């Protein structure tokens, strides 16, 4: 029985956890009263592109940005041709940072993105494998260059890491509950689930940099019991083109009473629950770090479609109206950007008193 003294946020989460498995629908995303001042966003591949779109659209809402295996903000400029041939490889030449800077300035005049001052305060982590054959390493280097031009003191705010002998994906270290080896991608070549068996806990490394907190040591990750709950929720309240019906939320022990900070974690193409089940949301290493540092992790989920067969996040404009010359997917007006920010709003809102 729930204690009468449990705060309102705890009551909401208790009901969330206790929902019968046989219910017709998943529970809604709860209002947890999360801390607003220390939010971060991390993403890999298309999720990395989307993470940067969120941070540029709403820099005042994020303290940190981490991008794995992706390139500059707005690289595709609303076209699939550029996405494939300038932002994954460089057949059309390298990403034109000057053009992208002009695009940003135009958006800023129209208040479609956040202020330069807010963007300059971000802390950023950029990682790329130098054997990445899906998104060229040069494209990741272009993102680091772009961010360095925005940040107030890039020497202390930006960390750019390029790992030798690593392919496309998200490297993971040893875990207390590792995925089956059949679910791990090859460290050098990637593939599979794109969780790479490199014995490198990149999630802990990135989060430690963003939030100036110690990483979770591999030895601890091997032995500690994860304290918290990974919970599916109904994404129907945020339904827009490209979103799956369900997302996931990791809530560490104690965070059901509110006050914990939030990290939004965005999977890459081919990494959603529709394609690989709960492999990414359970085994990427974020949950262990979040449990140790009392941080809630939101795992929104994209879906596959004819327009988006790999279940990518929208970084080239497919989710917007087809008649638009400039789809605005990379602004505050982007449909997926709005949906993801609405999820943040819900989690940071206090639940109604009971």
* pLDDT tens figures, 288-321: 999 999 999 999 999 999 999 999 999 999 999 7
Q: CA 148, CA 146: separation in Å to the nearest integer?
A: 5
pLDDT in tens, 15-37: 555 544 445 789 999 999 999 99
pLDDT in tens, 154-208: 999 999 999 999 999 999 987 656 788 888 989 998 888 999 999 999 999 999 9
90 by Cβ neighbours in 10 Å (0-12 / 13-18 / 19+) ranks as middle
Contact between 173 and 204 under an 8 Å Cβ cutoff? The reply is yes
pLDDT in tens, 85-98: 999 999 999 999 99
pLDDT score of 223 more than 70:
no
The pLDDT, as a whole number, for residue 146 is 98
pLDDT in tens, 267-282: 999 999 999 999 999 9
Question: Predicted confidence band at 3 (pLDDT cuts at 50, 70, 90)?
Answer: very low
pLDDT score of 70 more than 60:
yes
Question: Predicted confidence band at 325 (pLDDT cuts at 50, 70, 90)?
Answer: confident
pTM of this prediction exceeds 0.85: yes
The pLDDT, as a whole number, for residue 20 is 46
pLDDT score of 352 more than 90:
no
pLDDT in tens, 123-157: 999 999 999 999 999 999 999 999 999 999 999 99
pLDDT in tens, 73-84: 999 999 999 999
pLDDT score of 10 more than 50:
yes
Q: CA 354, CA 352: separation in Å to the nearest integer?
A: 6
Q: CA 8, CA 293: separation in Å to the nearest integer?
A: 22
- Write down the mean pLDDT value for the chain: 90
Q: CA 60, CA 43: separation in Å to the nearest integer?
A: 18
The pLDDT, as a whole number, for residue 350 is 87
Query: In 3D, which of 211, 300, 223 has the Cα closest to residue 260?
Result: 211
**What are the backbone angles phi and psi of residue 34, rounded to the nearest 5°?**
-75, 155
Contact between 157 and 189 under an 8 Å Cβ cutoff? The reply is no
The pLDDT, as a whole number, for residue 174 is 74
The pLDDT, as a whole number, for residue 248 is 98
């Amino acid at each position: 029985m729930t204690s009468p003294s449990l705060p309102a946020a705890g009551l909401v989460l208790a009901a969330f956890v206790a929902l019968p498995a046989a219910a017709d629908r998943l529970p809604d995303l709860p209002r947890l009263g999360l801390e607003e001042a220390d939010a971060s966003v991390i993403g890999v591949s298309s999720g990395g592109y989307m993470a940067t779109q969120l941070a540029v659209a709403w820099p005042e809402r994020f303290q940190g940005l981490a991008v794995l295996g992706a390139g500059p903000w707005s690289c595709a400029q609303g076209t699939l041709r550029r996405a494939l041939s300038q932002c994954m490889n460089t057949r059309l030449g390298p990403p034109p940072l000057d053009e992208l800077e002009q695009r940003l300035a135009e958006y800023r005049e129209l208040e479609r993105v956040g202020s330069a001052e807010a963007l300059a305060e971000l802390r950023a982590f950029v990682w790329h494998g130098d054997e990445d054959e899906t998104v060229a390493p040069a494209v990741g280097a272009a993102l680091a260059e772009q961010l360095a031009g925005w940040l107030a003191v890039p020497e202390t705010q930006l960390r750019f890491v390029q790992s030798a002998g690593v392919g496309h994906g998200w490297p993971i270290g040893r875990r207390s509950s590792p995925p089956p080896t059949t679910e791990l991608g090859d460290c050098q070549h990637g593939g599979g689930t794109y969780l790479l068996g490199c014995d490198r806990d990149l999630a802990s490394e990135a989060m430690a940099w963003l939030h100036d907190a110690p990483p979770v040591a591999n030895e601890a990750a091997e032995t500690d019991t994860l304290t918290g709950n990974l919970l599916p929720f109904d994404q129907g309240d945020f339904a827009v083109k490209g979103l799956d019906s369900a997302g996931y939320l990791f809530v560490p022990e104690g965070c059901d009473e509110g006050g914990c900070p939030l990290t939004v974690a965005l999977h890459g193409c081919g990494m959603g629950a529709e394609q690989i089940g709960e492999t990414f949301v359970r085994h990427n290493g974020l949950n262990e770090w979040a449990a140790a540092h009392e941080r809630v992790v939101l795992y929104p989920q994209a879906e596959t479609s004819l327009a988006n067969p790999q279940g990518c996040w929208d970084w080239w404009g497919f989710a917007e109206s087809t008649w638009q010359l400039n789809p605005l997917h990379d602004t505050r007006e982007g449909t997926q950007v709005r949906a993801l920010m609405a999820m943040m709003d819900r989690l940071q809102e206090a639940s109604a008193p009971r």
